[in-house]
Amino acid sequence: MPEITARLRDGDAGRRYIERIRAKVAAWQARASGGAGRPLRLMEVCGTHTVAISRSGLRSLLAGAVDLVSGPGCPVCVTADVEIDRMLAYCDLPGAIVASYGDLLRVPGSAASLAERRAAGADVRVVYSAMDAVSLAGREPGRPVIFLGIGFETTAPATALALLAAGEAGVRNFYVHAVHKLTPPAMRALLDSGGAQIDGFLCPGHVSTVLGEAGFRFLAEEFGLPAAIAGFEPLDILVAVDYLVDAALGLQAVRLENTYGRWVRPEGNLKAREVMDRFFEPCDARWRGLGVIPGSGLALREAHRSFDAAVAFPANVPEPRPRKGCRCGGVLRGEIKPPECVLFGRACTPERPQGPCMVSGEGACAAYYRYSQAE
C-alpha cells in the first residue's frame, strides 16, 4: 500500500498528465467557435477531493484548461443553519451530553457554536465514531447522550451500526439527531436547477465504496454528462480528469468511469447499504445553499423512533436569519469561488470563521485559504 501511494504521487508522471490534458483542451479551444477560450468545468462533490486538489496545486496547474469547481461535498458545510440551532438547543437539556464529530464544534449557529456552548459549561464531547457515543451512554446511564449524526453515505453506516449496537446492548439513553445526507440527489438537484454549467463530475471515491457504480450512472444516462469515480492521490485525480476531458471533448464515450477500482467495487458495499436501510429511510432534507431536496436526507424509521433525539427532545427553534454577507450557499452551488466572497480572508478566516465552508477542514473556503489559491 505505501508503494502504491508513492507511485500515485509521482511528480514526473503528474506533470506529463497535466501537459497532455492542457494540450487536448488547447486544441479544442483553438477549434471552437463561439465558446472559444472557455475552460472545461468539472465539479467535485467531496470535501476530501476539494482539499486534495488544493493541496496538490492541481487547481492552479490546470487553470485555463480545466476549471475544477467545488460543489456540495462537505457535510458540515451543507448542514442548514436551522439544524445547527437544533443541535445547540440540546445543550440546554438538563444532564444531557452532546456527542459530536470534531469539525462540527466551531460552526456558528444563530447565537453561538457548540464550542462556545461547551466553554460556557454545556457537556459537549468530541467522538471519533458513533460507537464511542454508545459506549459513553453505557458509562453514563442516568444521562441522555445525543449523538449528532452528520455526514454522507460514508458516515451513515457507522451511525446505523451504532444504533444496532445500542439496541442489542439495551442502551436506552443513546439518541441520534440524524441529519445524514445523500450525495446523488444533491447532484441531481444542482443539474435540474440549470445554473451549474458543468461539463463533468468527479464522483466521490469513498461514498462510492458504499454506493458502488450504480449510485452515479444517472449522470451519464440521464444528463449525458461524463462522470468518473476518483481517488484522492494526485495521479488518481489526474486520471479521472483526463477521462472527463476526453469524454467532454468527444474523444471517448460519455459514461461513468470507475478509476478507483482498488477501493470501489461495482456493486459497492451491500452490507453497509443494508444496515443503513434497516434504520433509516430517505426523507426530504434542507441543504445550505440548495434548499429542500426531495429524498436527499435520512430519517430514522418508525420502528426506531425511540432513538430519535428530535422526537424525544423536541425543540422549538425559530427560523434563523440569513447570514449577512456570507456566500457559502453560492460556493456550495459552484456559482462562485471562495475568493469572490467579500468576507473571504478579511472578516472570515479559519481563526474567525463566519460561515461553515471556512470552519470545516474539508470546506472549500478553508481549503482555498490554507493553500492560498486565490485564482
Query: Given the complex with other proteins, which of 262 and 301 has the nearer CB atom?
Result: 262
Distance separating alpha carbons of residues 273 and 142, to the nearest angstrom: 33
- Residue 74 touches other proteins, criterion: CB under 8 A: yes
Burial 260-293 (b: 16+ CB within 10 A, else e): beeebeeebbeebbebbeebbeeeebbbbbbeeb
Distance separating alpha carbons of residues 209 and 222, to the nearest angstrom: 22
258 with 288: CB under 8 angstroms? Answer: no
Query: Given the complex with other proteins, which of 84 and 161 has the nearer CB atom?
Result: 161
- Residue 60 touches other proteins, criterion: CB under 8 A: no
Distance separating alpha carbons of residues 245 and 226, to the nearest angstrom: 9
Return the CA Rg of the chain: 21
Q: Which of 116, 132, 140, 335 binds other proteins (CB under 8 A)?
A: 132
- Residue 374 touches other proteins, criterion: CB under 8 A: no
- Residue 1 touches other proteins, criterion: CB under 8 A: yes
- Residue 266 touches other proteins, criterion: CB under 8 A: no
The footprint of other proteins on residues 197-216 (CB under 8 A) is 206, 209-210
Q: Which of 70, 173, 259, 354 binds other proteins (CB under 8 A)?
A: 259
Q: Which of 42, 46, 78, 366 binds other proteins (CB under 8 A)?
A: 46
Query: Given the complex with other proteins, which of 173 and 259 has the nearer CB atom?
Result: 259
Grid coordinates representing 346?
478579511
Rounded to the nearest 5 degrees, what angle is found at the Cα of 254, between the Cα atoms of 205 and 55? 35
Query: Given the complex with other proteins, which of 70 and 360 has the nearer CB atom?
Result: 360
Distance separating alpha carbons of residues 265 and 212, to the nearest angstrom: 6
Question: CB neighbours of 34 closer than 8 A, spacing ≥ 6?
Answer: none
Q: Which of 95, 102, 141, 294 binds other proteins (CB under 8 A)?
A: 102
The binding site for other proteins (CB under 8 A) comprises 1, 4-5, 7-8, 13, 16-17, 19-20, 46-48, 74-76, 101-104, 128-132, 150-152, 154-155, 157-158, 161, 206, 209-210, 235-236, 239, 242, 259, 261-265, 269, 271-272, 275, 360, 362
